[in-house]
Structure 1
Amino acid sequence: MKGTNGSQTFRVRVRLHHGRPVPVEIAHDEHTAVIAENRLLRDSGEALLRLPGLPGDVRGRLLRLRVMLGEITPIRRGNRVPAWWPSRLNTRYHDALRLAELVLRGVSIEHRPGEVTVHGFLFDLAKVFEDFATRALRDATGELDDFGGHCVRQATHHLDERQTIRIVPDLVVYTAGGAPVAVADAKYKVEKPAGFSDTDLYQMLAHCTALNLPEGHLVYAKGNAPHGAHRVRHAGVTLHQHALDLDQPPAGVLTDVRAVARRLTAR
């Protein structure tokens, strides 16, 4: 027998105890609002509300969604996006759930044949720039005539001796023997009148300390000056800040990248 009482579905297995009226063995499933589908919709709505320039009607619908799903536990920063599976129970929300996954992962739809029509693509420009800058810098470094080593993107090292604190610089330059000789990080930020963020310098100083390097290089998307350098007191480390002007033809951008590559490999 099956019966429904509120949000609980009961399956009474009377065949196990045929002829015995009581006690009756019951197995039940507890249904709550905190499920993967609702968590996806709630957090993607919150992410969209932070976008500037939302039309008033869109913002209004997202705010109503926030109220409807107010009891849902948000996904903690850094945690994986919850997995969901298509079923007859969520058939009406398949498109919305797939869109929510795209929003939370910071990706866009794929340009492939399908049944859903869209009017734009979503790009994470920070990731686009960082991928371009490190790839172009790696290629430019390898093309230098006097370069006898190799470059690794996203190389994992450790800050402490017990190797519990990971650091993952965007690009590390090694000698032919495998010793690190330069480190670089790409940042998609616009320089403010007061300068770039200090937190980037702290991070680069940690990279230089862990790799035992006297210099570190930060590559930004744009700035008021093409290059700046800071000598860290009592550390003997110089932190370089390079700014790539993207408002120029591709050939000009690659010329600037080659200039940064020469600074990385300068002895």
Structure 2
Amino acid sequence: MEATKLVDTSLTLDGRLLLRSGSMVGAARIIGGDEHVDLHVRPKIGIARLLWLLGYARDPRGWRTEPVGLTPEHDLVPAMAVAFATATYQALAPGLLQGYRTVEEALPLVRGRLREADQLRTRPGLALPVEVRYDDYDTDIPENQILLSAVRRLHRLPGVPPATCNALHRIAAALADVTPLTAGAPIPEASSNRFNNRYQPALRLARLILAGESIEHSHGSTLAAGFVFDLNTVFEDWLTTALRHAVETRYGGTVTGQHQMHLDRDRRLPLVRPDITWWHGRQCLAVIDAKYKAPGNTPPRDDIYQLLAYCTTLNLPRGHLVYASAGAESVTYQLTGSGVHIVVHRFDLAAPVTHLHEQIEKVAEAITSVEVASGVSATPTAGPDAAVKDGGYPS
């Protein structure tokens, strides 16, 4: 079961198997011989909130509110399957969306433009078939490909209700002339416009389904297959997107995630990348670390040490720790010797969405006001990364 990444296993003194969940949520089916076990790990924050966090991180404009009709008792896969099938039925009700796509193939006649280089390379001296490139108007476009790929993904997951399976089969039949996406390939962009606007709710859910980490594991006669999300990554991605929107819109600069740094000038001691940094040109003005855990009364020392290393490397007087945990107002710790201030913020992810937006605004204000309040001006970070092309900094 550990191969599913959903739980850690251990044996009790009386020989029973003990399962302990961590930061992963989702569903998996473990098959051994003629029997199988379905394993479901449900997030404490609820499925609707999980979907909102996932969706907001990818498109803050498209996920203003939580998906309706989902309760905390829903499991992840059934909830996503039902929501996706409903949204896709509504999207396809007026008919399949069509559009132009570029096709390159060999034909017995000339259509569109002749690909001369390909013709000479593959068929030197032959007149037919002809390598051509042309635009075709049909249903095999990125929007439909994304929907079909999500349908196929859901078909392989445990826990999809029978009625929803039937609905997915009907959707797949309607998309019979569409080519599914290649496994592992990037999901194509399908920006919103007046033609595909009715597809957008279904496309947002489809992208979440395709973004979930797939489990395909075989060991002897045991097979595990499933679908999981890491809540550490979910929280970090949401916080990065939310702060980017709040900070860049009102204060300018660039908010970026996972900036590469080194502790030494010779770049031989790589540092674990900070989750979020805020830049003005090549000046780093703030560093934020996201932690999906409850810190207790005081933050763990490892978290403090890690953020202190970031502040030292980036030459910052202040760093911010953000925990996914209910609690009091922000607390500031001034570290002895270095003088660095560590500000600890807490987010109750189960709170109403409006409250989360308010908390984001408070953190954004705390991040951006330190320069004015303290009179400190962060200097450009020189040294290890300054010699990298483009400075190694966000543009």
TM-score, with structure 1 as normaliser: 0.57
Q: Does 1:170 align with 2:275?
A: yes
C-alpha distance in structure 1 between counterparts of 2:233 and 2:4, whole Å: 22
Query: Residues 48 and 171 of structure 1: is their aligned pair in 2 closer, same or farther, counting only changes over 3 Å?
Result: closer
C-alpha distance in structure 2 between counterparts of 1:116 and 1:45, whole Å: 15
Q: After superposition, give the CA deviation of every residue in 1:92-148 in whole Å (9 maximum; x if it has no partner).
A: 99xx9xx9xxxxxxxx9884326535117532212111111121112111121xx23
In terms of mean alpha carbon deviation, does 203-212 or 148-157 score higher? 148-157
Instruction: Specify the code of the residue in structure 2 equivalent to 1:178.
Output: R
C-alpha distance in structure 2 between counterparts of 1:143 and 1:225, whole Å: 27
Query: Residues 117 and 223 of structure 1: is their aligned pair in 2 closer, same or farther, counting only changes over 3 Å?
Result: closer
Aligned to 1:160: 264
Secondary structure in 2 aligned to 1:186?
A: strand
Q: After superposition, give the CA deviation of every residue in 1:5-41 in whole Å (9 maximum; x if it has no partner).
A: xxxxxxxxxxxxxxxxxxxxxxxxxxxxxxxxxxxx8
Deviation at 1:247, TM superposition (A): 2.4
Q: Which 4+ residue blocks in structure 1 deviate beyond 6 angstroms? A: none
Q: After superposition, give the CA deviation of every residue in 1:163-207 in whole Å (9 maximum; x if it has no partner).
A: 1222311111111x3211110011001132x42211111100000
Which of 96, 116, 132 aligns to 2:156? It is 116
Which of 326, 329, 343 aligns to 1:240? It is 343
Which of 244, 256, 259 aligns to 2:362? It is 259
Deviation at 1:250, TM superposition (A): 1.1
Q: Does 1:44 align with 2:3?
A: yes
Instruction: Specify the code of the residue in structure 1 equivalent to 2:241.
Output: R
Aligned to 1:135: 241
Query: Residues 249 and 223 of structure 1: is their aligned pair in 2 closer, same or farther, counting only changes over 3 Å?
Result: closer
Aligned to 1:221: 324
Identity %: 34
Aligned to 1:75: none
C-alpha distance in structure 1 between counterparts of 2:334 and 2:234, whole Å: 30
Deviation at 1:226, TM superposition (A): 2.4
Secondary structure in 2 aligned to 1:246?
A: coil
In terms of mean alpha carbon deviation, does 159-168 or 234-243 score higher? 159-168
Query: Residues 178 and 117 of structure 1: is their aligned pair in 2 closer, same or farther, counting only changes over 3 Å?
Result: closer
C-alpha distance in structure 2 between counterparts of 1:159 and 1:165, whole Å: 5
Q: Would the aligned equivalents of 2:286 and 2:318 in 1 still touch at CA under 8 Å?
A: yes
Deviation at 1:241, TM superposition (A): 0.5
Query: Residues 218 and 46 of structure 1: is their aligned pair in 2 closer, same or farther, counting only changes over 3 Å?
Result: closer
Query: Residues 117 and 123 of structure 1: is their aligned pair in 2 closer, same or farther, counting only changes over 3 Å?
Result: closer
Q: Would the aligned equivalents of 1:191 and 1:223 in 2 still touch at CA under 8 Å?
A: no
Q: Does 1:188 align with 2:188?
A: no
C-alpha distance in structure 1 between counterparts of 2:257 and 2:4, whole Å: 34
Query: Residues 161 and 171 of structure 1: is their aligned pair in 2 closer, same or farther, counting only changes over 3 Å?
Result: same
Aligned to 1:179: 283
Deviation at 1:224, TM superposition (A): 2.7
Q: Would the aligned equivalents of 1:191 and 1:224 in 2 still touch at CA under 8 Å?
A: no
Unaligned runs of 5+ in 2: 20-31, 40-75, 78-148, 161-226, 372-395
TM-score, with structure 2 as normaliser: 0.40
Unaligned runs of 5+ in 1: 1-40, 63-91, 100-107
Instruction: Specify the code of the residue in structure 2 equivalent to 1:205.
Output: L
Larger Cα-atom Rg: 1
Secondary structure in 2 aligned to 1:112?
A: helix
Q: Structure with the greater relative contact order (CA < 8 A, sep ≥ 6): 1 or 2?
A: 2
Query: Residues 48 and 190 of structure 1: is their aligned pair in 2 closer, same or farther, counting only changes over 3 Å?
Result: closer
C-alpha distance in structure 1 between counterparts of 2:4 and 2:365, whole Å: 45
